[in-house]
Structures are given as structure tokens and as C-alpha cells.
Amino acid sequence: MSTLRFVFFVLLLPIGLLRAQPLADTLFTWQGYGQEGRCRVQLFRTPPGTDRAYVVVLQELADNPGPSTVADARYLVERVSRHFGFDPVDAYWIFHWGAFSFPGARASSKELFLRATFSRTTTGRLSAPRWQVITRAEVERLTDRQFR
């Protein structure tokens, strides 16, 4: 019986580890009007009881040579959601700035999180974002404590 429990534990262990990780954590590039943009993208599932299926954190990087994530927000969320295979309406989009967003900045605990949500217009186009400033604690809650 103890061998069976051990095998069961070992088989379920990877599932538990997968749930503790983002679905994706990658550098994402897109073609802006003038130059290619670059940001870090982290994709998470939301916890049960949330009205959207995903949380996408877009980190503005100091070495981004192109448009900012906010300047290209609507275009960027369409591209990211198409890349990962979901509708942008089904996600909370969190735009994140910290010391990593500014060339030569010293490490700091100061950061800004803007949450954007989108809907579809009657013609099927993506609406303008609805913005809200949120806290790190709210980001952690939306990502089921997976955001670090």
C-alpha cells in the first residue's frame, strides 16, 4: 500500500509543480510603426471564481528599442493573445513598470501596475482598454500567488 501511495505522489508531483508556474514566461517582440518593440510576457491562469480565464503581465523593459507597451496596447494584446491562442477579452492585462524598465536604474521596490480589460465592439473590433491602477497584492491574488 505504501508503494502505491509513493507512485501516486510521484505521478501527481509534476502536476502540482506545473500549477505553481506561469503558463508562459518569455520575451515577446512585435513590429511597431517605427521599430520593433520588446517586452517580457508572463501568462497565468486565474484562480477559480474569477470572471476572466487568464492574466497576462507585460513588463516594460529598459532595452525596448520600440514603442512602449502602453503606446501599442490594443495591437500588442491582439498579437499576444493570438500567439497563445485565446481571445484578449478573456484576460486581465497587467502592464508593469519597475527599476527594470529604466536604463541605469538602481534596484528599487517602487513599481507600477496598470490593469487593462477589453471587450468587443458590435463590429467585433477590440475596444479601447479600461485602465485601473492596482497593487502587487492584487496581481498576486489574480495570479493565484504565482506572480513573482
At residue 14, φ and ψ (nearest 5 deg) are -60, -35
For the chain, the domain total comes to 1
Query: Is 45 inside a domain boundary?
Result: yes
Query: Is 58 inside a domain boundary?
Result: yes
pLDDT for 148 equals 78
pLDDT tens digits for range 111-121 = 999 999 999 99
Query: Is 9 inside a domain boundary?
Result: no
pLDDT for 21 equals 77
Question: What predicted TM-score, i.e. pTM, was given to this entire model?
Answer: 0.84
Query: Is 64 inside a domain boundary?
Result: yes
Q: Which domain holds residue 50?
A: 22-142
For residues 116 and 93, is the Cβ–Cβ distance under 8 A? yes
47-85: burial string, b at 16+ Cβ within 10 Å, e else: eeeeebebbbbbbbbeebebbbbeebbebbbbbbbeebe
Please identify every stretch of the chain with a pLDDT value under 70, giving residue numbers as ranges.
1-20
**CA torsion angle 95 98 104 108 (round to 10):** 180
Query: Is 52 inside a domain boundary?
Result: yes
